Chains A and B, each alone.
Chain A
Amino acid sequence: MTDDTLMTPREPQLIALNVNGEQHEVITEARRTLVDVLRHELRLTGTHVGCEHGICGACTVLVDDRPVRACLMFAAQAEGARIRTVESLADGNLLSDLQRAFSEHHALQCGFCTPGFLMLAEGFLAERPEATKEEIREVVAANMCRCTGYQTIVEAIDACATARRRACARACDSKEN
């Protein structure tokens, strides 16, 4: 083996990422994954790395509103897309309804998988606000949690969805009246 074969292409490139509504320019290697760039270049460490092969879901973020595994995507591939991470959920110190539901239902213990589940649920409920508890359980099965046994995660998301539907129904009622 010669030294040449050991050389890895490490040429940096400039990429632009839109994360949580802010535009960022990053100089980084082409091979860096989206989750690594979010965490280590942009210091948005809320998104976690659990397996780096797309199964555990700890790194789930929204790309153009859909939940994706940030470990299975190169950062460069996310150029031009709208990326949302867990840091976007709260409004300043005010937690979102989904975050509050997780806390109220004890849907987290160690909290490591939580950002992934939150973003999974955030994306899913936006797409299917009328989701049933069974459908929620199906979606929750996309990610791994080692602490809770999942039940309280399902309950938290279901409670949040139910509350949103009620609020929506009330809003519709008051419009009609």
Chain B
Amino acid sequence: MTREEQGRPLVGRSVPRREDRRLVSGRGRFVDDIALPGMLHAQFVRSTVAHGEIVSVDLSAVRRVPGVVAAFTADDLAIGDITAQLGRPRSQFVPTAMPVLARDKVRYVGEPLAIVVGLDAYAAEDGLEAAHVEYAPLPPVLGEETALADDAVLVHDEAARNTLVDVSLFATDGIDDIFDAAHRVVEVDVTTGRQNALPLETRGAVAHWDDREEQLLLQTCTQVPHQVRTVASRCLRLDERAVRVVVPDMGGGFGQKCVVGREEIAAAAAALRLGRPVKWIEDRKDALSASFLAREQHYRARAAFDADGRILALDADVVCDMGAYSCYPFTAGIEPLMASAEMPGVYKVPAYRVRGRAITTNKAPTAPYRGVSRPQYVMVVERLFERAARELGLDSVEIRRRNVITDFPYTGVNNITYDPGSYLESLNLCEQVVRDEGWYDTRTAAAVEGRHIGIGYACFSERTGYGSSAFAQRKMQVVPGFDISEVRMDTSGAVTVTTGTMSHGQSHETTMAQIVADALGLDIARVRLHQGDTDRVTYGWGTFASRSITVGGSAVRLAAERLGDKLRAIAAALWDTEPEEVELAEGQVRRRGGDGARDVLTHQEIADVAYLRADLLPKDIEPGLTATATFDVFNDGTFSNATHGVVVELHQDTGQVEILRYVCVEDCGVAIHPQVVEGQCRGGIAQGIAGALYEEVTYDAVGEPSATSFMDYKVPTAHEIPEVSIHHLETPCAFTATGAKGAGEGGTIGAPAAVLNAVNDALRPTGTELDHTPITPQTVHRALNPEPVP
């Protein structure tokens, strides 16, 4: 810390990250690093067919394989099902049970049927080879058309036409008349490919029964430890107190780990049965093909415009392919409900109609991957504006300027009230940067040379402060939203803070400590964070939907302030003054205006009194130094916003899309740690570009997934991801305790739309417009090199 930095608040500064020392030294502890005496290793027998009745599962040969200790089917373990629920009528939502191990039917290639436990992972894999499963195959349901057909084969008998969710949340009166009378109506038909969130660390767990604690200790890499505890306790019929979920260091999650996985529950069941620790580490083949996937959606949308390019109405039909099961706790409703509720986004849309459906198919189930439907609907809305601009002869930025929300708070046609943001400012700044750097001139010059350079934008917001009320509106039966934090000072004056959120790369150990250190006037080195341990953390909803700093950080801040109040009260009593006369700063407890040594105490001296000399405390102050606070968001949440600007060049001979420039103007309110915010933006943008140009899991006619290794699943590297320049705007949030809005997902949300728009801009001379991601070199090549007319 430099001299100038001393005494300044830590919040707002990119202080050194406290997680780094162990992570760069190889001393992090990830789940596969855990080794316990007598530990066994599990692997899963997985379905090789997409859809079929299970005739028999014969594990007798498995059990004879050297090194195999045990093998269990669903019947052997008798574990309860995982069933996610929405509180909606049957016409809108059909709940489906996800058995921990498939019992009667298999519904996707890779579905776990049996667990094999061996002395090591090699032995368990040997065992898999000897499993004999007999199926009576059923026709696989693999696409929207097949799934929704009147005579469709059913993935779940209870879900007619394979529809799990069917909601029409909005339908403005007279909307058809608006379309009929409009100056111009534009339409898009947008589809997005199935993607894998792909944390570099695959899923995994280590489970064992701890006799002394009379507890199942389940160490697992999950974004939602308390929710895993609930499901484990119910499936295994244990009190929640008899289950402790602990999350070690976590190698990413991105949403794939914010739902409860069946394998971690099965591993726990096997550990209980065997009385020995059982470890399960998902291999990459399973992670690619049989883990939770995401993103496969189809939007048919149209928008009505007046002659000035003002949007009059938006009408959309959304179909999300959720795969074989509804995920816990979010359900198959997560994607269509998000899209339906929020699609108007940053634009003043006066009339809106939407139908959102989730269908079930014989593909791996999906989880809410970073961005959740917003990458898609932002792409849809931005495409509609691009198309309208083209047809009305308007500049594509100008048409957005005429439509973005500028008066806050603004209540949209979707009944959501948007808190203040910088939609217009971000758009203007982003365009300015691209223009000042000369990219418009470059595009013009390139066109003369026959090169294909395009510029594209995406202007969007993301709701980040989802409180209980926002999730309750979706009718979730298990309602996330609030968070609880406890701050505890020990007799040395050092502090431990708990959060119910769970960092998997977002730097909570640093950012939460910054918040606490500021509130208590402590050196950050004296603050330690506990997260991801259901015995240490009262309760929490984990980390997803960019909620950690907005909701979790607010709870941390409020708890720290409460503890600060107590420290001041004790100091005031010792000085016989008022608490307002006491300040906490620069590692000291000081009497305002005082200048003598007697006007200064250390935190340790106060803590000493609170614990070791409680006799000195006034009657109205309890011994000890702990404080707890809960934070929830009761309105419609807070909205971070951004504009992304992208310049691409399309290569005539290869169809390659090369990103020449990427500019991001973001506003997440107060940035607790600007470097971390930029890291979130860049990482998100990389995943967004991945979805726009590279990654897709497809299925063949019998339901085999195409991507089972990194040879087939094209994860972009430093070759493909460009440098991103980031410009910050700051519209502080009025109702989070820190002024922060979330920053986790914006990059992923904006990139696909901006890239797709840029590609379409470059394709403009060809007359072709693309509406599917990933944009493959083949499609671009075809557009640039049309077959000569014979």
**Cβ of A147 and Cβ of B717 under 8 Å apart?**
no
**Cβ of B199 and Cβ of A108 under 8 Å apart?**
no
* CB of B16 within 8 Å of the partner chain: yes
**Cβ of A102 and Cβ of B683 under 8 Å apart?**
no
Among A39, A45, A142, the one with the most B-chain Cβ atoms within 10 Å of its Cβ is A45
Complex partner residue of B25 from A10, A46, A109, CB under 8 angstroms: A46
Kindly list chain B residues whose C-beta atoms are within 8 Å of the C-beta of A110: 199-201, 249-252, 504-505
Known contacts A48-B201, A144-B715: does B26 contact A149 (CB below 8 Å)?
Answer: no
**Closest residue of chain B to A90, judged by CB?**
B25
Bound: A114/B284 CA distance, A: 18
- When each residue 103-146 of chain A gets 1 if its CB lies under 8 Å from chain B and 0 otherwise, what string results? 11010111111110010000000000000000001101111111
Known contacts A6-B130, A39-B33, A151-B723: does B24 contact A108 (CB below 8 Å)?
Answer: yes
Known contacts A114-B23, A144-B715, A151-B724: does B252 contact A106 (CB below 8 Å)?
Answer: no
Bound: A164/B747 CA distance, A: 34
- When each residue 664-694 of chain B gets 1 if its CB lies under 8 Å from chain A and 0 otherwise, what string results? 0000000000011011001111110000000
**Cβ of B718 and Cβ of A150 under 8 Å apart?**
yes
Known contacts A106-B679, A140-B718: does B26 contact A87 (CB below 8 Å)?
Answer: yes
**Closest residue of chain B to A33, judged by CB?**
B122
**Cβ of B200 and Cβ of A109 under 8 Å apart?**
no
* CB of A170 within 8 Å of the partner chain: no
* CB of B65 within 8 Å of the partner chain: yes
**Cβ of A6 and Cβ of B26 under 8 Å apart?**
no
Interface range for A: 35 or more
Bound: A31/B125 CA distance, A: 13
Bound: A153/B709 CA distance, A: 24
Complex partner residue of A150 from B16, B29, B254, B686, CB under 8 angstroms: B686
Within 8 A of A (CB), among B707-737: 709-711, 715, 717-719, 721, 723-724
* CB of A51 within 8 Å of the partner chain: yes
- When each residue 127-138 of chain B gets 1 if its CB lies under 8 Å from chain A and 0 otherwise, what string results? 001100000000
**Cβ of A106 and Cβ of B724 under 8 Å apart?**
no
**Cβ of A106 and Cβ of B27 under 8 Å apart?**
no
How close is B393's CB to chain A, nearest CB, in angstroms?
Answer: 37
How close is A118's CB to chain B, nearest CB, in angstroms?
Answer: 7
Complex partner residue of B252 from A40, A51, A52, A147, CB under 8 angstroms: A147
**Cβ of A115 and Cβ of B200 under 8 Å apart?**
no
How close is A137's CB to chain B, nearest CB, in angstroms?
Answer: 5
- When each residue 341-360 of chain B gets 1 if its CB lies under 8 Å from chain A and 0 otherwise, what string results? 00000000000000000000
**Cβ of A146 and Cβ of B26 under 8 Å apart?**
no
- When each residue 1-29 of chain A gets 1 if its CB lies under 8 Å from chain B and 0 otherwise, what string results? 10100111010000000000000000001
Kindly list chain A residues whose C-beta atoms are within 8 Å of the C-beta of B129: 6
Complex partner residue of B682 from A43, A89, A152, CB under 8 angstroms: A152
**Cβ of B24 and Cβ of A114 under 8 Å apart?**
yes
**Cβ of B25 and Cβ of A87 under 8 Å apart?**
yes
**Cβ of B199 and Cβ of A149 under 8 Å apart?**
no
**Cβ of A146 and Cβ of B67 under 8 Å apart?**
no
Within 8 A of A (CB), among B8-59: 14, 16-17, 19-21, 23-30, 32-33, 35
Kindly list chain B residues whose C-beta atoms are within 8 Å of the C-beta of A111: 19-20, 23-24, 28, 249, 251, 505
**Cβ of A146 and Cβ of B30 under 8 Å apart?**
no
Kindly list chain B residues whose C-beta atoms are within 8 Å of the C-beta of A39: 32-33
**Cβ of A148 and Cβ of B683 under 8 Å apart?**
yes
**Cβ of B24 and Cβ of A106 under 8 Å apart?**
no
**Closest residue of chain A to B287, judged by CB?**
A51
**Cβ of A46 and Cβ of B505 under 8 Å apart?**
no
**Cβ of B20 and Cβ of A103 under 8 Å apart?**
yes
* CB of A154 within 8 Å of the partner chain: yes
Kindly list chain B residues whose C-beta atoms are within 8 Å of the C-beta of A95: 21, 24-25
Kindly list chain B residues whose C-beta atoms are within 8 Å of the C-beta of A99: 24-25
**Cβ of A141 and Cβ of B724 under 8 Å apart?**
no
**Cβ of A51 and Cβ of B505 under 8 Å apart?**
no
| In the A-B complex, the 6 residue pairs with the closest CB atoms | A46-B26, A112-B251, A111-B23, A110-B505, A149-B682, A109-B505
* CB of A56 within 8 Å of the partner chain: yes
**Cβ of A103 and Cβ of B16 under 8 Å apart?**
yes
Kindly list chain A residues whose C-beta atoms are within 8 Å of the C-beta of B201: 48, 50, 110, 112
- Starting from the known contacts A90-B25, A111-B19, A141-B717, 14 additional A-B residue pairs (CB-CB under 8 Å) come to A8-B66, A45-B26, A47-B26, A50-B200, A53-B711, A86-B25, A95-B25, A102-B20, A103-B16, A103-B20, A110-B199, A112-B249, A146-B252, A147-B505
